[in-house]
Amino acid sequence: MLTQLSIHNYALINQLTIDFDKGLSIITGETGAGKSILLGALGLVLGNRADLSSLKDTSTKCIVEAKVAIANYDLQDFFEEVDLDYEAETIIRREILPSGKSRAFVNDTPVRLSVVNQLRTKLIDVHSQHETLALSDNSFQFSIVDALAKNKDKIASYKRGFSKLNQLKKELEALEVQQKEANQQYEYNLHLFNELEEANLKVDEQEQLEEKLEQLNNIEDIKLNLSEALEISINEEIGVQSLLNTLENRLLKIAAFSKHYQELSERVTSVKIEIDDVVTELEKANENVDFNPNEIEELNNRLQLIYNLQKKHTVATNQELLEVLEDLSVKVGQVENAEETITNKKNEINDVTIKLDKLAGLITKSRKAVVPKLTKQLQHLLAELGMENARFSINIKPTSNYFTNGKDELAFLFSANKGGNFGELKKVASGGELSRIMLSVKTVLSENTKLPTIIFDEIDTGVSGEVSNKIAGIMQQMSNNMQVIAITHLPQIAAKGKHHYKVFKKEIKGVTTTNLKQLSDEERVVEIAEMLSGKDISESALTHAKELLSP
């Protein structure tokens, strides 16, 4: 629940800190005193949009801080989910800098406003007059039914399945579009694929073929030079081998006389061994030189095939051609396997749909089960509030359509008069009737949701007399389950509060400021008497005020 609200430099407020307690708290004050400013400040700290107009003094920052006691509301998992430190007394702070920049903190940790708004839904329900129109909003009506039906977990599970179903449908649609496009290119791609596959290309084949062809085109020069190289190497008189033998023999004769001569001899021997090996290779190469016109033609044809394929696919190497082959294989395979892929996707959609339909059925069943109870509760509460003939027609209709909260359509109709026709709330209920209906709805919700605090901003608009006493009684009843804060202009309601606060304006050095203070018992008598008779308080008003405040 809200335990403290601290406001600095907001609208007409310089500095204000006020403590709140459990039970029913009442806030009163003259029109224009600043009750809306308090709600604005609270809305700001709970995530409402901010701008520089919120600053009383535009040279310094605005700070609004709310302390909330949350030990009894099982919010540890939420804090862990959004990566925040959990504190039994959590502090939410909002700052607006003179630059217009806004910052939010939860337990001194900077957070995005989306996180603050999520936390808000778990902490405080602020009901202002214009929100009464939400009664005619279908999503709000569903929230009433689902609160009684305890559908929170089922709907959360349904939403996950609904999101999964939509994602799968998008994937199926993309596959079908892809298949259609691929089908249009299939024959051509298959031709290209088969052509490349039949070519049986190898990565380094082109270089090898070009080298081999270069050899065959220069076969005469190769043969001549190999023969001459062999002659130079093996001639008995002037050949390199013969001369090296002679050189080796000469050095061997003197090797024993000097270590230097020995080293020279060994080096010559090493050269001789290398030359002998070279000669062997020259002989093999010379023997293998053979001119074959058919081989040249085959090589030329193979290279031309490679060149043509490279040109056709606008690439420069065999490696790139092989990459094209792989890409074509994927494209052809997509078409040939598309039917299976699409079938698998449809099966997946069918599985999710079956589970979603089952879950939607459970949601429908639980909704229908609570409709009689909800109707009875609302009509009973409204009868207490002076609307004895009020009737609701709540109809849950299952459909084949998938909505974000199930597959149902909801008709939430109302009749205020005996024998009257049912119609939409906003069309058949007056402002005062809407206020009483909303209070009844909030009462039902308070008994079925674990919400710490609810704030009513003049929900008593359009009512008076005995009805206002009934409204006060219902608020007292609600305050047994949660903290209730009511801004009111009716003395009958103000007198029922456990705590009473007054909003007032005060002029300090020519500057008007808004203030809030908690009233003592004596001050409450005066305040309620003033609400009864105006500024000129009569003795009878004081007496009436004391009667209203008496237990």
**pLDDT tens for each residue of 384-424:** 888 899 999 999 999 999 999 999 999 999 998 887 889 88
In a domain, 300, yes or no: yes
Domain closes at, from 320, 338, 356:
338
Residue after which a domain boundary falls, among 322, 338, 354: 338
Closest Cα to residue 68, out of 124, 118, 8, 121? Answer: 124
Is the pLDDT at 59 greater than 90? The verdict is no
The crossing angle, in degrees rounded to 10, of helices 152-199 and 318-384 is 170
* 120 and 229 co-located in one domain: no
Choose one of 284, 305, 338: the last residue of a domain: 338
Give the sign of the dihedral formed by CA 28, CA 31, CA 32, CA 35.
Answer: positive
Q: Residue 181: inside a domain, yes or no? A: yes
The DSSP result for 250-282, as a single string, is HHHHHGGG-HHHHHHHHHHHHHHHHHHHHHHHH
Same domain, 52 and 182: no
Question: In the chain, how many domains are there?
Answer: 2
In a domain, 136, yes or no: no
Does residue 244 contact residue 274 with C-beta atoms inside 8 Å? no
Residue 223's pLDDT band (boundaries 50, 70, 90)? Answer: confident
Confidence of residue 129 (pLDDT cuts 50, 70, 90): low
- Are residues 107 and 192 both part of a single domain? no
235 in a structural domain: yes
In a domain, 364, yes or no: no
> Is residue 81 located within the same domain as residue 202?
no
pLDDT of residue 498: 93
CATH number of the domain at 61, please: 3.40.50.300
pLDDT at 330: 82
Q: Are residues 96 and 214 in the same domain?
A: no
Query: Residues 459, 325: one domain?
Result: no
Q: Are residues 293 and 187 in the same domain?
A: yes
Question: Does residue 199 share a domain with residue 65?
Answer: no
Question: What is the pLDDT averaged over residues 190-208?
Answer: 86
225: in domain: yes
pLDDT at 358 over 80: yes
Structural domain boundaries enclosing 191: 175-338
- Looking at residue 424, its pLDDT comes to 86
Judgement on whether residues 189 and 329 belong to the same structural domain of the protein: yes
Residue 55 has pLDDT above 80, yes or no: yes
Q: Are residues 186 and 118 in the same domain?
A: no
246-255, pLDDT tens digit by residue?
888 888 888 8
DSSP structure class, residue 422: P
Residues 35 and 91 in one domain: yes
Is residue 33 situated within a structural domain? yes
